[in-house]
């Protein structure tokens, strides 16, 4: 039995190592002073969900870079699509999307590194003033669908020559 477990662990470890080496780049995301962001949900748990979703999306974008390159993103400010409409007695606030001056915007600082060398860096205010007028490949149930689409477009433009 012990021999079987040892073999299983070695096999699993090898599979994990292979998966890690085949996967593209990594992404490191930090949120600088999130308590000062222009537009985030009021409830702490909802803020945490927004940051988790953004972190996961940057992770996904980072995998599009070539092997050995790492994406480092520092989120400086967030203004989510729509505006919060507080609801008394409800478990969470409702975000209303009107397509006026309520477009999504994210201020960030980024770096693409490979072997401790900076390949590309900059600061950007990523926004989409016409967020309701574009085709969006993310479903209506997708959290932060407008922000993700906006970040996809930014990444495609800025990182095009890194891929």
pTM of the predicted structure, to 2 decimals: 0.76
More confident residue, 28 or 42: 28
At 43 the pLDDT is 85
- Position 101 scores a pLDDT of 66
* Each residue's pLDDT tens digit, 92-144: 666 656 666 688 999 999 999 999 899 999 999 999 888 888 889 999 899 89
CA pair distance 160, 156, nearest whole angstrom: 5
| Contacts (Cβ under 8 Å, ≥6 apart) of 17 | none
Cα 89 to Cα 92: distance, rounded to the nearest angstrom: 9
| pLDDT tens column, 45-63 | 989 999 999 999 999 999 9
Q: Can you tell me the distance from the alpha carbon of 37 to that of 162, in angstroms, rounded to the nearest whole number?
A: 30
Report whether pLDDT(16) > 50. Answer: no
Phi, psi of 44 (to 5 degrees): -55, -40
Q: Estimate the crossing angle of helix 44-62 against helix 145-158, to 10 degrees.
A: 30
């Amino acid at each position: 039995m012990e021999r079987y477990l040892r073999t299983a662990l070695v096999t699993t470890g090898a599979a994990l190592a292979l998966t890690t080496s085949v996967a593209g780049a990594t992404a490191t995301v930090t949120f600088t002073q999130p308590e000062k962001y222009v537009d985030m949900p009021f409830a702490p748990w909802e803020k945490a969900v927004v940051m988790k979703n953004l972190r996961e999306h940057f992770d996904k974008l980072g995998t599009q870079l070539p092997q050995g390159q790492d994406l480092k993103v520092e989120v400086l400010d967030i203004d989510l699509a729509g505006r919060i409409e507080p609801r008394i007695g409800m478990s969470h606030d409702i975000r209303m999307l009107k397509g006026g001056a309520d477009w999504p915007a994210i201020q960030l600082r980024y770096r693409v590194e490979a072997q401790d060398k900076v390949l590309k860096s900059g600061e950007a205010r990523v926004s989409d003033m016409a967020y309701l007028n574009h085709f969006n490949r993310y479903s209506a149930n997708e959290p932060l669908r407008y922000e993700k689409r906006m970040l996809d477009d930014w990444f495609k433009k800025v990182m095009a020559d890194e891929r």
